[in-house]
Amino acid sequence: MSRIQILNQQELKEFERVPHLKYNEKAYSFSLPKLLLDIALSFQNDSYFLAFTLLFGYFKITHKFSDDIFYNENNIDFIISTKQSC
């Protein structure tokens, strides 16, 4: 029985690509609601806070979860800089 290929390799790569966001899109995507922010700030270390915020922001934009290898370095820097102001 053959498998149906819905997306070719290029389309699959595009589908899984993390979106490149402008500053105002980052501010919207990675802003946690007050309740989630309080919980995230109580995590054991900053890596957990960063991963949670990235997952939340990407899900907010794309409605799907992304693997951490696809995280954009600019988004990580943005979250780190905004966390310091909390």
Please report the pLDDT score of residue 36 as a whole number. Answer: 94
Give residue 75's Cα distance to chain centre.
Answer: 8
Q: How far, in Å, are 4, 25, 29, 45, 85 from residue 66 at the CA level?
A: 24, 17, 14, 21, 26
At residue 68 the predicted structure's pLDDT band, cuts being 50, 70 and 90, is low
2 DSSP 8-state letter? P
- Tell me the pLDDT tens digit for each residue of 6-64: 888 898 888 877 778 899 999 999 999 999 999 999 999 999 999 999 999 989 988 88
Angstrom distance (rounded) from CA 37 to CA 40: 5
Q: How far, in Å, are 47, 71, 78 from residue 84 at the CA level?
A: 14, 20, 10
pLDDT at 86 over 80: no
The answer, as to whether pTM is greater than 0.85, is no
Please report the pLDDT score of residue 22 as a whole number. Answer: 93
